[in-house]
Amino acid sequence: MTKRIFSLLLALVFVLALMPAGAGAAGPTLLTKYFSNGITAPQAAYLRYNGVDTDHGDSIDMWYNLPPELLALAADYNKWYEADGEQEGFVAAFGVEDCEIKIQVDAQLDGVAWQYTSAWDDPDWGGMEEPNWLVFSNCFSENMGNNKFYENNCMSWLIYLEEGAEGFLAPIVYSAENEEGFTLFHYDLQNHTMAVRYRFAVRYVTTGDYESHVLLSGWSPVTSIGKNGTQKALTRPSSLAAPALSDFSMEVYNENGVDFLSAKYYIDVPDSVYDAVKYCQVNDLGDAVYIDAQIRVNGGAWDGVYTANNNWIFSDYRSAAPDEYALKKTDNVEIRARFVCEELGLTSAWSNIVGTKPAFTASAWALEELAEADALGLIPDALREADLTKPITRAEFAAVSVKVFEALTFTKAPAVSDNPFTDTADPEVLKALGLGITNGMSATTFEPDRLLNREQAATMLTRVFKKVNLSGWTLETDGSFNEQFRGFFTMPELFGDDANISAWAKDSVYFMAANGIIKGMGSDANGKPTFAPKDVTEAQKAVGYANATRQQALLIAVRMVKNLG
């Protein structure tokens, strides 16, 4: 079987509107897993006019962002490609015979009608004929040689004028000779305004009947440049988010006929880093953001390691091997990475660590989900090298809750300088306090080392959900949101020890249970699952029966982000 080509035909022509956004969830895996709610409308494009001092015709550069659904599909596609890459595997993984993605760009001049017509709705791209006055390049072209889906920097030439313009562009194009006597074509944007909007289309071919179908995102907000343009300058980035690493493995590569071992890992690029790349490109700083990776072998010192094309910023697999000696199969190898932009004076925090050596002590049954927690960035520094089988403290769980908030909102929790507590100055505790997802045991004490029981853990994480999803919610006004909150879940069967769950925790416990986030702890005499919310007998207190462990806390954090994110 041949490798599957996942076509990225980013046709940058002023065309296309396909099927209505938000098509139903029924259908192949491609729809149910990634597009059950359609495709999110993308962010506004950013345009840059390259004008009359060029050696060729004018061009307009366009930067754009991929919606989260396409980023998730990109990640899974690349991982499938590395692991399988065969047609049968593609159909099994995504439930379709073929899939391709286009970006659709529509334009408007001087406030006159957009170019879209119903002729662009053909699911077989019948309305995609390229006008002869439009020359374009797509941002994926340099990476298409290995048939993989890259979000890359998402920058393209929108219109590149080499031979003038026909159709609706003609009124704003003029010609002039350069110093060598060559005629060049230019946009007159001093006297005219160009507005642009874009969207994404996913075309797929169903198995069995081989019929073409199309999903379409909503249009992006309008961007306009020229005489009456409203586009604002980009904001200079003030920080870089750290990458998330996953899928570590050791592989053999051949160099000059000799086999060597190298480490391979998947690096996930946060959206904010793409924004920094965009800022650098727009301001002619080039591909200023790069990946700085380090390797540690057998617990030694961290050493810098070569990363091929480290200024190509996109989520995909990378390889690493130390220069001074060859890796052996028996070596314990660890990798970490960060982003650096020297031109802006920015360096991200180090990523999580992936490798052959476990990064933490945990139960074997928890390792798979703990690896997900690591990849999702949910493990705070306080638990990075801790024994995760031990009970979790209030301070540690506050740090986990902050990580969950950041994962659900794709934003960093703000630092808090005002500290009412006399027994802790932990910055993560203060962030959780500032977000309103925790409070003190008194006005001046937090009791950071106090152990957390299971109903307390469920309640604190539920507050994170409320903070994210209930507009105006605060810890002080929590009671007024009870009915609204209960609309987010259907009450499941009561636990056998429901009578032991505190009244203030019941909604949170059953919300977590209804969403598959937190599970029971054994069964009662009648075979009903029990929750073990808190210790209620002296014997239970003696053994910490209801204590939430660190690994349990991280596992419910993973499920919360996956199930509710």
Task: Give the pLDDT of residue 331.
Answer: 80
Residue 492: CB atoms within 10 Å: 15
First to last CA, the chain: 37
**SS3 state at 395:** helix
Residues contacting 489, CB < 8 A, separation 6+? 510, 511, 514, 515
**CB contact at 8 A, 96 and 19:** no
| Residue-by-residue DSSP string for 324-350 | SS---TT--EEEEEEEEEGGGTEEPPP
Rounded to whole angstroms, the Cα distance separating 482 from 490 reads 14
Within 10 Å of residue 27's Cβ, how many Cβ atoms? Answer: 17
Least confidently predicted of 158-167, 213-222, 325-334, 432-441: 158-167
- Between CA 275 and CA 296 the distance in angstroms is 30
pLDDT band at 403 (very low <50, low <70, confident <90, very high): very high
Residue 17 forms part of a structural domain: no
Above 50 in pLDDT, residue 16? no
Q: Is residue 6 part of a domain?
A: no
Residue at a domain's end among 193, 226, 259: 226
Residues 480 and 348 in one domain: no
**280 and 381 share one domain:** no
Average pLDDT over residues 186-191: 89
The full length of the chain comes to 565
What is the structure's pLDDT at 289?
A: 93
Environment class of residue 127 by beta-carbon count within 10 Å: exposed (0-12), middle (13-18) or buried (19+)? middle
427 pLDDT higher than 50 = yes
Do both 443 and 544 map to the same domain? yes
Write out the H or E segment, with its range, that includes residue 466: helix 454-469
Q: Are residues 330 and 429 in the same domain?
A: no
Quote the pLDDT of residue 433: 92
Residue 191 binned pLDDT confidence (cut-offs 50, 70, 90): very high
More confident residue, 174 or 56: 174
266 with 380, same domain: the answer is no
Q: What is the pLDDT of residue 449?
A: 92
- Compute the mean pLDDT over every residue in the chain, rounded to the nearest whole number: 79
Please give the average per-residue pLDDT across 293-311, as a whole number.
87
> pLDDT value at position 381?
82
The pLDDT value recorded for residue 359 is: 57
- 343 and 371 housed in the same domain: no
Residue at which a domain ends, from 334, 357, 380: 357
* Euclidean distance between CA atoms 282 and 65, whole angstroms: 14
pLDDT band at 133 (very low <50, low <70, confident <90, very high): very low
Token digits of residue 248: 């570590």
Most confident of 55-64, 342-351, 384-393: 342-351
Q: How far is CA 53 from CA 58, 174, 335, in A?
A: 9, 14, 46
Highest mean pLDDT among 24-33, 370-379, 467-476: 467-476
pLDDT at 82 (0 to 100): 77
Whether residues 158 and 59 share a domain: the answer is yes
- Last residue in a domain, options 357, 384, 400: 357
pLDDT tens-place string over residues 155-184: 555 555 555 555 677 788 888 887 788 888
- Lowest-pLDDT choice from 46-50, 102-106, 334-338, 424-428: 102-106
pLDDT (0 to 100) of residue 141: 25
Residue 406: Cβ-neighbour burial (10 angstroms; 0-12, 13-18, 19+): buried
Per-residue confidence (pLDDT) for residue 448, from 0 to 100: 92
Same domain membership, residue 262 and residue 191? no
Q: Which domain holds residue 305?
A: 233-357
Please count the structural domains in the chain: 3
Mean pLDDT within 523-542: 77
Give the pLDDT confidence of 227-283 residue by residue, as tens digits. 999 999 999 999 998 998 888 888 877 667 777 788 889 898 888 888 888 899 889
In this predicted structure, what is the pLDDT of residue 325? Answer: 57
How confident is the model over 315-344, as a mean pLDDT? 82
> Is residue 18 in some structural domain?
no
Query: How much of the chain, in percent, has pLDDT values that exceed 90?
Result: 18
Average pLDDT over residues 137-159: 37
pLDDT at 225 over 90: yes
What are the CA-CA distances from residue 102 to residues 9, 81, 91, 393, 482 (Å)? 5, 20, 20, 49, 44
438 & 522 share domain: yes
Least confident of 78-82, 230-234, 396-400, 492-496: 78-82
* Residue 238 included in any domain: yes
Residue type, 499: A
Domain match, 199 and 251 both: no
